[in-house]
Amino acid sequence: MEVHVIDEENSIYNYFLAELRNKQVQGDPLRFRRNLERVGEVMAYEISKTFDYKAVAVDTPINRAEVMLPDEEVVVASVLRAGLPFHLGFLNYFDRAGNAFVSARRHYAENHQDFEIRFDSVYSPSLEGKQLLLVDPMLATGGSIVVAYRELLAQGGVPRHTHIAAIIASRQGMERVVSELEGEPVTLWLGAVDEGLTPSAYIDPGMGDAGDLAFGEKI
């Protein structure tokens, strides 16, 4: 599986990532959501370089110009709820994309450390022959994104290619996704890779609970 890690090259992406990690900046939910959106825009741009393109004639006020445009149908899929601003960043660039949503949550055992991933519902258009962009800000253990991928294909059909995108991944989560989806038409796009996981399976150092920071704490 091909894996791209964006912060391995210096770019303006690192500025957005630094603000997402910074606990002082995180106190402004509006800015946190906007930064999730902005990193989605950066990743959308990078992913677009891998698409097939075709020449399209455009009439300007002076004459006709030929422009190379993507020759792909795109579906952006995200895992609720932290994925919503990240999802919007991709839609800002793929503005005619279809949209899919997966409702999933961690259900913790009484020790508050062990948990299982519970899926409530999946909403998807047809994925057949399309470019599927499965986006989720945090790739911690990798378990939920692998199950989300398989649930989407079970409901929507087989895409031409899938791009899994996360802002921060743990190394353990990255390795699990690579291992479980090896040989499938999937590319992994990560903003950064952190080495650790806390006992409750949050990425260390990560950026905390992206859903709570974007939308407030839940019961």
At residue 107, the pLDDT reads 56
- CA–CA separation, 128 and 24 (whole Å): 44
At residue 188, the pLDDT reads 98
Q: What is the largest CA-CA distance in the chain?
A: 70
At residue 113, the pLDDT reads 53
At residue 14, the pLDDT reads 97
At residue 217, the pLDDT reads 86
- CA–CA separation, 141 and 111 (whole Å): 18
At residue 193, the pLDDT reads 98
At residue 200, the pLDDT reads 83
At residue 116, the pLDDT reads 63
**Domain residue extents for the chain:** 2-215
Q: Are strands 161-170 and 131-135 parallel, antiparallel or unpaired?
A: parallel
Residue type, 14: N
Architecture of domain 2-215: 3-Layer(aba) Sandwich (3.40)
Q: Residues 183-194: pLDDT tens digits?
A: 999 999 999 999
Q: Residues 122-131: pLDDT tens digits?
A: 899 999 999 9
- CA–CA separation, 133 and 76 (whole Å): 5
In the predicted model, residues of the chain with pLDDT beneath 50 are none
Under DSSP, is residue 149 helix (H, G, I), strand (E, B) or coil?
helix
